[in-house]
Amino acid sequence: MQVENYKIQELNEAGLSAHRRRFEYLASEISNAEGILQKLIDFQVAIPSWALGTGGTRFGRFGGGGEPRSLEEKIEDIGLLHKLNNSSGAISLHIPWDIPSNAANIKALAAQHGIRFDAMNSNTFQDQPNQKHSYKFGSMQHVDKAVRQQAIDHNIEVIKYGVELGSESLTVWLSDGSCFPGQLNFRKAFQNTLEGLQEVYAALPDDWKMFVEYKAFEPNFYSTTVGDWGQSFLYANKLGPKAFTLVDLGHHLPNANIEQIVALLLMEEKLGGFHFNDSKYGDDDLTVGSIKPYQLFLIFNELVEGMDARGMNHSTDLGWMIDASHNVKDPLEDLLQSVEAIMLAYAQALLVDREALNEAQQKNDVVRAQEILQQAFRTDVRPLVAEARLRAGAALQPLQVYRQLKVRENLVQERGLKTVATGL
Ligand SMILES: [Mn+2]
């Protein structure tokens, strides 16, 4: 399905005067509206190819219809999102689910939609048909060198596909670990994994980054070999300057102070990328900002502060990706909500009066420091984010336009009701 620009402009018309009123009021209340607008226009969040279809749990999967049946259709779906919000100009692929049959054609199609290729994701957490060795007891940590080698070769193959498409980073998430005490020698598992990652690292092109993603538990429930940011940081440090830690918001033990983790990783120049989602209990992979919007704001507050302290470019120097799963919502609607939540938290973080906050911290004025953060968080920045979209030619209200244009109904008509996105 193609959405024409004039259609979006037409639908924007109806809300324009109300928007103008709200935006002008907000712009008069804050000091640097123009500067913030440009940052919002530049900011892009990569959509993972696996989030375009309905996800499932170990209990079941309830498909929604019209899901993308190929990599081409996944790119078209992200093209639709990007057209509506101008903030989803990148895709994060998963191999082997998204092996391009013709890289040049895929690249051209993505360019047509204004989409670039963000981090490539390898998969050693499940066995593929015709695979020689099983990952049942781990991949890079495995006691058998042949299994480890298969995992290493796979990651190098993923880099090769990424090079063909113009990606510049590899995300490695390992499900390696153990389910029971005694199953694993922790030290040997770490060493084996490090050696494997070193071989993959050696195959990285000069301008590539490698992201080592950590996760506290699941699918292993006693230990995970890259279980927390400390372990990821250890690997990244041992690997070298092209290796970084990737923070997935859902991969911590309950109540972890993620904003503090982010601040320290940034300080150590080892924060590489982000997987946005939200959760209440574990790795719930819910819509960004749906459960803990204040935490999301506090994380962005540290990101902006830390990136500015190092003179980093907000939009290009870290990998921004969504990693979510949609069991009960239309995946595209969910992704529009997630991107909106990210933009709102980012805009609020840009509003924080850094000078005043620093002064309050120096004076141990705890009340004032809290007030400064909450002043920004409680500002309704929706008109600012909408204005950024408007200036970029996108929709004032992406979700509303999505429904007005009956996008899902069209996709179901084109693709059918029973389609299942590749990989899911
Ligand atoms: Mn993730």
Q: Residue 303: what pLDDT?
A: 98
Distance of CA 68 to the CA centre of its chain: 19
Q: How would residue 63 be classed by pLDDT, with cut points 50, 70 and 90?
A: confident
Handedness of CA 196, 201, 204, 209 (dihedral sign): positive
Average pLDDT over residues 376-388: 98
Average pLDDT over residues 139-144: 98
Distance 283 CA to ligand 1 centre (A): 9
Decide: 43 and 314 in contact? Cβ < 8 Å.
Answer: yes
Distance 308 CA to ligand 1 centre (A): 25
Q: pLDDT tens-digit profile of 95-131?
A: 999 999 999 999 999 999 999 999 999 999 999 999 9
Distance 21 CA to ligand 1 centre (A): 39
Report the b/e string of 111-150 with b at 16+ CB within 10 A: eebebbbbbbbbbbeeeeeeeeeebebbbbbbeeeebbeb
Q: How would residue 47 be classed by pLDDT, with cut points 50, 70 and 90?
A: very high
85, amino acid identity: N
Decide: 319 and 119 in contact? Cβ < 8 Å.
Answer: yes
Decide: 322 and 338 in contact? Cβ < 8 Å.
Answer: yes
Question: Which structure tokens are listed for 330?
Answer: 């239309």
Distance 48 CA to ligand 1 centre (A): 10
Prediction pTM value? 0.97
Distance 173 CA to ligand 1 centre (A): 7
Show Cβ contacts of residue 302 under 8 Å, excluding neighbours closer than 6 positions: 259, 260, 262, 263, 266
Q: Residue 4: what pLDDT?
A: 93
Helix (H) or strand (E) holding 178: strand 177-178
Q: How would residue 64 be classed by pLDDT, with cut points 50, 70 and 90?
A: confident
Q: Residue 224: what pLDDT?
A: 98
Q: pLDDT tens-digit profile of 383-420?
A: 999 999 999 999 999 999 999 999 999 999 999 998 88
User: Does residue 57 carry a pLDDT above 90?
Assistant: no
Helix (H) or strand (E) holding 248: strand 243-248
